[in-house]
Chain A
Amino acid sequence: MRFMYIVTSTQPNRGPTPALMEAMHKLADREIKAGRMLDSGGLMPVSLGAQVKITGGKLSVVDGPFVEAKELIGGYAIFELRDKEEAVASAVEFMQLHKEHMPGWEGTCEVRSFATPGDEMACQADAQAAS
C-alpha cells in the first residue's frame, strides 16, 4: 500500500533546527535504503507560493502569504508499506524526532493511503448503495 505523509504546523515560520534536520536526514536515508520511502520533499515558505481558488463560482489567484491559513503544509513523503499499522508506526518514529529535537514545536503528520482504481470503484458503489 502506498501512503502519503503530510506534515502540517501552525508554526510555519519556525524552520527545523539543525539537529532535527540531521536526524530527519538519517531517518530518510535509512527508510530509502530499507526500500520503504519512495519520495519526499520539504516545501518552500508559503510566501513564495500561490493559491488558485474557486469561491462562489469565481476563480481567483492569490499569491502567498495567506493570512487566513491556520495550518500549513511543510513537507510530504511517499512510502510503500504493508498496512496502515506500519504507516502509523513509522509516522510515530518520525514525529518522535521532532519531539526530541525541536522542543515546543507543534504539528501534525497526517497519514493517508493512496486510492487505487479499485478503491474509487468501491466508493462509487458505496454512494450508489446509499442513494
Chain B
Amino acid sequence: MTAADIHRTILAVWRNEQPRLITSLSRMLRDVPLAEDLTQEALVAALEHWPATGVPERPGAWLMATAKRRALDHLRRGKMLAHKHDMVARDLEQEQQAIPDLDAALDDDIGDELLRLIFTACHPLLPQEARAALALRMICGLTTGEIARAFLVPEATVAQRIVRAKRTLSASGLAYETPRGEELSERLASVLEVVYLIFNEGYTAARGEHWLRPQLCQEALRMGRVLISIAPHEPEAHGLLALMELNASRIAARTDQAGDPILLMDQNRALWDQLQIRRGMLALAQAVQLGGAGGFYALQAEIIACHAKASAVDDTDWPRIAELYAELAKLVNSPVIELNRAVAVGMAEGPAAGLAIVERLAGEPTLKTYHLFGSVRGDLLYKLGRYAEARDVFEAAAGLAANDRERELLKRRAAQAADAAASS
C-alpha cells in the first residue's frame, strides 16, 4: 500500500466511526463543538500511528479510547468540576481494563445523542451556509477541503465558517441541548431545510462546470436516512427522504454523455433507479401513514412519485399532479409553483386551460426575469398553433436564460416556431 492508500483507508475507517465518537464525547463533555475538535484529534493520531502499525483489528475501539483520553486531558487542563473529572476517569479506567469489543460498540445506542448533534449543527441561530458546512462535517465526517470542493468555495472560507459557527454555539451556551415538544418540530424544520439545501445544491447545481454534483446528493440522502431512524415519528422527515430518494432515482437519466441536461419528459426511464424509487415510495407511504400527506416535502414527493410510477410520459397521471400542485400552492404562495401547475393542467386538460393560468401570472414581478416562464408560455402557445406569438415568447425567454445550454434550447424552439409560422 502506498502512503496515499493508507491515508484513504484511515479516512474511510474514521468516517465510519466518527458519529459514534462525536456523540460519545459530546455526552462526556457536554459540548458538541469541543467534542468535534477532539474527534478530529483522534483522526490526526490515527494518521500518525496507523501507517507504521497498520490499521488495528478494532479501529473503532482504538479511536474511541484515543478520543476519550484527549477528552480526559482536556478536562484536567480545564480544571473542570472535580466530580465530573472523577466520573470520566473512572469510566475510562473501566474501559481500558476491558477494551470495548465490537459487540459493545454495536450495542451503543447513539440515537438521542446523534439527534442532539444534528440539532446543534443546524441551529437556526447560525447562517444557512454555516449550518450546511457543520452538518457535513459533524454528521457526514467530510473534511473542510471536501466541503469546500463540493460547494465550489475556497477551503479557507469553509474553515472560517466552521470556526465562527462553533464559536457562536459555544458562546451562546447552545453547545449541548436538545429541543423538546413544540420547539422540536420547529427546530426539525430547520434541520430538514439544511438537508434539502445540500441535496439541491448537488441536484441542480446552478454554478460550476457540472450540472450535477452527486456527492452532495448522497450526503444529503444519508442524513435524511439517519433522520428517519432517530426521529421516526416525524412525517416531514419521511417526506423529505421520499422526495430526495425519488429525485435521486433519476440522476443517471438526467444528463447526456456530454453532461447536458435531459428534461424529465425526454429521459430514458429505463435508467431510473428502481431500488431508489422503491425506497422513496416506502418513505412516502410512511409520511402518509403518520398523517403527513399534506406536508411541504411529502406533497412534492408525491408529485415526483406520479412520474416515477409512469413507465412512459403518456402514462403520467397529469390530473393528479395538477391537484397536488394546487395543494402545494395553498401551502406556499409561489408563482413558480403556480407555473408548474399550469404545465400539469396543460397536459391534463389541454393547452388552453394551461395557458389561462399562465396568462394570469403574466403580471408577477418575480416571473418577469424568469426564462422558464417564457418557456412554458411559448410551449402552450405553440401547441395551440399560435406560432408567431410562440416565436416571440421563446426569443424573449432565450435572452433571459443565464445557462448557455438552456439558451440554446430556447433559441431552437423559437426557430421551430418561426418555421411553423411561415408555413401555416
Contact = CB atoms under 8 A, between A and B. Distances in A.
Interface of A: 23, 26-27, 30, 32-36, 38-39, 78, 80, 82-83, 85-86, 88-90, 93, 96-97, 100, 116-118, 121
A93 B222 contact: no
A91 B137 CA distance: 24
Contacts of A33: 111, 225-226, 229-230
A96 B229 contact: no
Contacts of A36: 222
Which of A23, A33, A118 has the most chain B CB within a 10 Å cutoff? A33
Contacts of B101: 100
Given A35-B221, A80-B218, A27 B106 contact: yes
A34 to B, nearest CB: 6
A35 B252 contact: no
B279 interface: yes
B403 interface: no
A82 B275 contact: no
Contacts, number: 70
B8 A85 contact: yes
Given A23-B103, A26-B107, A89-B16, A96 B57 contact: yes
Contact of A121 (B102, B225, B257, B275): B257
Contact of A35 (B106, B226, B271): B226
Interface string B111-146: 100000000000000000000000000000000000
Contact of B225 (A35, A39, A96): A35
B15 interface: yes
B130 to A, nearest CB: 23
Nearest to A30: B106
B257 A86 contact: no
A90 to B, nearest CB: 6
B153 interface: no
B239 interface: no
Interface residues of B, number: 32
Contacts of B8: 83, 85
Residue of A39, A85, A100, A121 with most chain B CB atoms under a 10 A cut-off: A85
Contacts of A118: 252, 257
A101 to B, nearest CB: 9
A117 B75 CA distance: 53
A97 B257 CA distance: 42
A83 B215 CA distance: 11
B15 to A, nearest CB: 6
B301 to A, nearest CB: 17
Contacts of B257: 118, 121
B11 interface: yes
B121 to A, nearest CB: 16
Nearest to A97: B102
B351 interface: no
Given A86-B16, A89-B13, 11 more contacts: A26-B106, A33-B111, A34-B222, A82-B215, A82-B218, A86-B15, A89-B9, A89-B59, A93-B16, A117-B252, A118-B257
A26 B102 CA distance: 10
A80 B16 contact: no
A127 to B, nearest CB: 16
Contacts of B221: 35, 80
Contacts of B384: none
A93 B58 CA distance: 8
A85 B11 contact: yes
A116 to B, nearest CB: 6
Interface string B278-292: 010000000000000
B68 to A, nearest CB: 20
A96 to B, nearest CB: 6
B226 A39 contact: no
B366 to A, nearest CB: 35
A13 to B, nearest CB: 26
B252 A85 contact: no
Interface string B1-23: 00000001101110110010000
14 contacts: A23-B102, A33-B230, A34-B19, A35-B223, A35-B226, A36-B222, A82-B12, A85-B8, A89-B16, A89-B59, A100-B101, A117-B252, A118-B257, A121-B257
A100 B102 contact: yes
B346 interface: no
B57 A39 contact: no
B226 A34 contact: yes
B347 to A, nearest CB: 28
